[in-house]
Structure formats: structure tokens, C-alpha cells
Amino acid sequence: MDHVSRPLTSPLLGSVRVPGDKSISHRAVLFAAMAQGTSVLSGVLDSEDVRSTIGAVSALGAGVEMSEAADGSLELRVTGWGGFGPSEPTAPIECGNSGTTARLLMGVLAGWPVEVALTGDDSLSRRPMRRVTGPLGRMGVVCVTTEGHLPVTVSGGGLVPIIFESPVASAQVKTAVLLAGLRAHGRTVVREPARSRDHTERLLPAFGVEVGIAEETRSCWVDGPAVLSAADVVVPGDPSSAAFIAVAAALVPGSDVRIEGVALNPTRTAFLSVMERMGARVDVLPDVGPGAEPAGTLHVQHGAGLRATTITPDEVPSLVDEVPVLALLASQAEGETRFEEVGELRVKESDRLAAIVEGLAALGADAVAEDDTLVVSGPARLSGDIALDSLGDHRLAMTWALAGLVAEAPVTVESFEAVDVSYPRFLGDLHALASAEEQA
């Protein structure tokens, strides 16, 4: 499906609530399936990726009752397999486009005497899996990959704990190893070169499993064996989805937008600091309430006179998914914006680093990749009147749609249906914020 994004001549105004956080939704479903008892999950993101995880745990023997809430989110009652472990499925588990589903499932399955094949679509089948199968192999798991990619067959069983020095800051790798560690006898430790998302460390205690954390060494650990206990979880709004609405408000003159109920986990909100450094007007209004994750409202207004900044390597793990849309914002800022050590973008749903450079150049902006550094110079006049391929990547699809709002002519986004992976109602929310006579 192609989408034609047209320039706006009036501001984005009003309030919106973005869908539930994708990373937390995945974990809530997986942990509930692993737990003893029945968990109630609300605010779960209804997207293709999360449905891949729901389908996977159902195939592995968890009981799942699912209904749709009035806001379009999912409400789930998940009865887990607890100490009995997952059932061996009769067919391969299809992970779709979801790297989180595939990588975290490897850790879930690692300590159980089952043999499970994991498959995915063409895009997921190009993404690296050795970063997970390597440490799991050290723990005693047999993982047979296809030249380091999906399909992967996992044969679990008795595990030994390890101290794993991860070469990359990856919440998926960290979580897979920690989940495997729950079945090992002893302490499993993961150390990272930089701090990655900590949703697992925050959510596991809600399911009755403590996670040790040493900030000074960027380490965390679990002691096994341990069985999770059922918990009720409310999933807050996804900050990565909120970033696209926030950047839209910062780009479109006169805009004044409130994004409500957004997760404010500090490992996910570095994009807000970058926006503020660039001159966007951003206020964060925290909510007061229970939950493993902090949440609140983002108030974003158009920033006149945007200026360049440098995104350092330490910041990248906390905003890697927002680089495409921040690069678009940088194209409208005065000066040279540098995104340092963003090579991880090459192994996302697409080669995002190359796609950002090619897409911005086609729009008339100045962007280059120097090894693993992305450099965007501005401000640029975005010409529009072109077609840009999303490459089946949801982050690119939304970025190019925003480009069309501030270009001089419409931008056609090819394969726009990729947004269903994380933000199915993206266009609807933009329409709601646009003036009545405008169409986003």
C-alpha cells in the first residue's frame, strides 16, 4: 500500500495517546506465559510484532484469552506454564518481522527439554542471531542456525550459569541471556559496553524474580533456578511511537501537541534531550501512580530556529530506534548534526543507515554516512514530489510520511503498511491533530 503525504499549511494541535509500548508488551506477554498462574495484561500494543509473540506463547502451551479495548489496545488473560515448562509445538513458530520475538524466545526455551524451530519473514531472516545463540551455546543450549540467521532450531535442557561480556549494548541479547539464566543453577551475569533498555530488569520483579543491578559496571544478574509468579501489568504508551508525533509537532510551524500516557523510562527518552538541544520546546509532565515503568505526558511545541547537535555513542542505545526521525529533524536544523557510532542501524529491519542517507538526499537534504557516523547538514528545503520506499521498515515509513508534511510537494511512501508492526493507527492520530481542512 502506498501513502501520499501532503504538505501541511496549518499546525498540529490537540492531544493524542500513542499505542502501548512494544518492548514492554512483548515482555509482559512472555513473562506471563512463563509464570505460574493467570496474569491480566492491559494496554498491550495491538500490532503484528506483538501478535507474533502472542501466537508463539499460545503454540508453546500458554492459555491466552484476548479482547480489544475501546482505545484499540489489547487486554489479555494469560495462564502460564510455570514450573511445568512449555510444550513442544507441532510446527515451527513463525516470528514474522519481530526480532524481539525470535531473540527473547531463544532465552525462554533455553532451559527446557524441547526442540523448537523459529522462522521469520525475509527481513527478519537477514538479521543476525549469533549475538544470542553464542552466549546461549556457552550455557548448554544447542542452537542450529542458518548461517547465523533464521530459521533457528533451539534444543534446550540443563544449563550452566555464565558471566557474559556482551560486545553490543542490546536489550534483546541481555534479556535472552537473563531468561535462560532463570533455568540455570547459580548466578548469570550480563555486562554491557553501554546501558541498554532496562524493561526486563524493571518488569521481572513484578513477576516475583529479583534482578541484581550494578550501574557502575553496567551489569545485571539473576539467580536460578526461579519460576515466575503471575502478575497484572498495565503497559504505558510507546516512547518510540511518541517520538514521531513529537518530531512532527517540532517541525510544523505553530504546532502545540500533548502526548499522554507515555513511558518515561530514562533508557528510552534520550530523544527528548536531543530535541531540546536542537531547540524544540518539550515539557515532560510525569504521572503519579503505581507500575514498574514511569509514565507521563509530553507537551511539544514547534521549535523555530532549530540548531545542530552531536549525538554521542553513549546516547545511541537509548535512541537507536529514533535515529531516522531525528535525522529528518536535523535536516531542518542550522549546522551539522552528527550521530556517532550508529552502525547498529545497518542490521535493523532494513539497512537504516543507508536508507536514511538515500532518502534524505532524494528529498534534497545533505546527509552522508562516514563509517558508522551519520552526518546531516541543514537547514534544507525538502523538495517532495518523489516516491520513497519504506523497505518494509516501519520507522522509515513514518519518517518519510512526516517529511511529506513539511516538504514543498507531496511525498509518496511505498509499502506504507509496514507501520502496522508498531503503530497501526499512526495516520489516524496525525489526522486527528491536523486542522479539519488539512489531511496528513
Q: Which pTM value belongs to this model?
A: 0.89
| The one-letter amino acid at 117 | A
Give 42-69 pLDDT, tens digit per residue. Answer: 999 999 999 999 999 999 999 999 999 9
pLDDT tens-digit profile of 298-316? 999 997 899 999 999 999 9
The number of domains in the chain is 2
Question: For the residues of 38-79, what is the DSSP string, one character each?
Answer: EEEEEEE--SHHHHHHHHHHHHTT-EEEEEE-TTS-EEEEEE
86 and 56 in contact (C-beta within 8 Å)?
Answer: no
Same domain, 56 and 163: yes
pLDDT for the residue numbered 349: 81
Residues for the chain: how many in total? 440
Q: Flag whether pLDDT at 440 surpasses 60.
A: no
Examine the pLDDT at 439 and tell me if it is beyond 60.
no
Confirm whether 100 is domain-assigned.
Answer: yes
Rounded Cα gap, residues 76 and 137, in angstroms: 33
Q: What pLDDT is recorded for position 303?
A: 78
| SS3 (DSSP) at 327 | helix
For 173-224, write each residue's pLDDT tens digit. 999 999 999 999 999 999 999 999 999 999 999 999 999 999 999 999 999 9
User: Do residues 259 and 285 lie in contact, with contact meaning Cβ atoms separated by under 8 Å?
Assistant: no
List Cβ neighbours of 208 (8 Å cut-off, separation of 6 or more): 35, 228, 229, 231
**Which of 211, 233, 255 delimits the end of a domain?**
233
Which of the pair, 257 or 438, is modelled with greater confidence? 257
pLDDT band at 421 (very low <50, low <70, confident <90, very high): confident
246 and 229 housed in the same domain? no
CA atoms within 13 A on the CB side of 319: 26
Domain assignment present for residue 141? The answer is yes
Q: What's the rounded Cα separation, in Å, for the pair 282 and 380? A: 23
Domain, as residue range, for 225: 22-233
Does 439 fall in a domain? no
d(C-alpha 163, C-alpha 217), whole Å: 13
Q: Is there a domain that residue 339 lies in? A: yes
The pLDDT of residue 435 is: 67
Rounded alpha-carbon distances, angstroms, from residue 316 to 205, 250, 267, 274: 27, 21, 10, 11
Do 213 and 260 lie in one domain? The reply is: no
Nearest-angstrom CA–CA distance, 323 and 330? 10
Last residue of a domain, one of 233, 255, 281: 233
Sorting pLDDT into bands at 50, 70 and 90, what band is 289?
A: low
- Are residues 77 and 201 both part of a single domain? yes
Does 144 lie in the same domain as 201? Answer: yes
Which CATH number characterizes residue 52's domain?
3.65.10.10
Check whether residue 206 and residue 321 sit in a common domain. no
H or E stretch at 223:
strand 219-224
Residues 179 and 38 in one domain: yes
Residue 132, Ramachandran bin (φ over 0: left; ψ between -120 and 50: alpha; else beta) = alpha
Question: Is a pLDDT exceeding 50 seen at residue 437?
Answer: no
Cis peptide bond N-terminal to 379, omega within 30? yes
User: Are 309 and 278 spatial neighbours (Cβ–Cβ below 8 Å)?
Assistant: yes
The answer on pLDDT for 436 being more than 50 is no
Answer yes or no: are the C-beta atoms of 189 and 213 closer than 8 Å: no
Mean pLDDT of the chain: 95
CA–CA gap between residue 363 and residue 382 (Å, rounded): 5
Residue 19: which of 76, 74, 66, 67 has the closest Cα? Answer: 74
Catalytic residues, by residue number, are 321
Whether residues 223 and 241 fall in one domain? no
Strand 115-119 to 93-94 pairing: parallel
Mean pLDDT of 5-28: 96
Amino acid present at 343:
G
Helix (H, G, I), strand (E, B) or coil at 239: helix
Verify that 227 and 297 share a domain, yes or no: no
Q: What percent of the chain has pLDDT over 90?
A: 92
Confidence of residue 74 (pLDDT cuts 50, 70, 90): very high
Do 185 and 251 belong to one domain? no
Runs of H (alpha helix) within 190-319: 199-203, 239-251, 270-277
Does residue 342 fall inside a structural domain?
A: yes
Give the pLDDT confidence score for residue 350 in this predicted structure: 81
Domain end position, chosen among 233, 267, 283: 233
Q: All 3 cell numbers of residue 158?
A: 540443563
**Whether residue 157 sits in one domain with residue 304:** no
Report phi then psi at 414, rounded to 5.
Answer: -85, 145
Residue 86, amino acid: P
Helix 171-181 with 99-109: angle, nearest 10 deg: 20
Same-domain status, 11 and 29 = no
